[in-house]
Amino acid sequence: MDRHPISQEGYDKLREEIRFLENERMPEIVQGIADARAEGDLKENTEYHAQREAQGMTQAKINQLKTKLANCYIADKSTMPKGVVTFGSVVTVKNLDDGLEEKYEFVGPGEEDYLTEVMKILTSSPLAVGLLNKKVGDKVEVEVPSGTLRFEIVQIDD
């Protein structure tokens, strides 16, 4: 599996989420299981089963976040090449089919946000993979699940 770049802030955010789940959320769940178990018959104890399910889901989330971190490396945006699309770049592209311009920032796992003015997309997404290492003026065709997108790179902010 390829390792993906992540900013120090993104790394810290994932570590904090893992810390919260392991040190605060999980002990609450364990206490909830103990309290439910003390009520008696476990076969008909819905609170016990709900707490056990929450425990399993929380552990799965912890494992998922740890796997994300294990497959990342902290990248310093200031050391990335200038003038080409790389991790940390904010890229303005013009859709060659409808003429609309969009802005994307290429980020690591846990940093993505699709609801901002400048969409933060993963460097491993099909769109990012198609635009990485391109320069201003380059025309690109990107295969995405919904079809082929055609863009021209208008601006790169490093």
Topology (CATH level 3) of domain 77-157: Chitinase A; domain 3 (3.10.50)
pLDDT digits (tens, 9 = 90+) for 70-121: 999 999 888 888 889 999 999 999 999 999 999 999 999 888 888 888 899 9
Give 137's DSSP letter.
T
Output the pLDDT for position 27: 97
Whole-angstrom CA distances from 88 to 47, 51, 96, 154 are 45, 40, 24, 17
- Mean pLDDT in residue range 54-61: 97
Output the pLDDT for position 1: 57
Architecture of domain 4-74 in CATH?
Orthogonal Bundle (1.10)
Q: What are the residue ranges spanned by the domains of the chain? A: 4-74, 77-157
Residue 129: exposure state from Cβ atoms within 10 A (0-12, 13-18, ≥19): middle
Output the pLDDT for position 34: 92
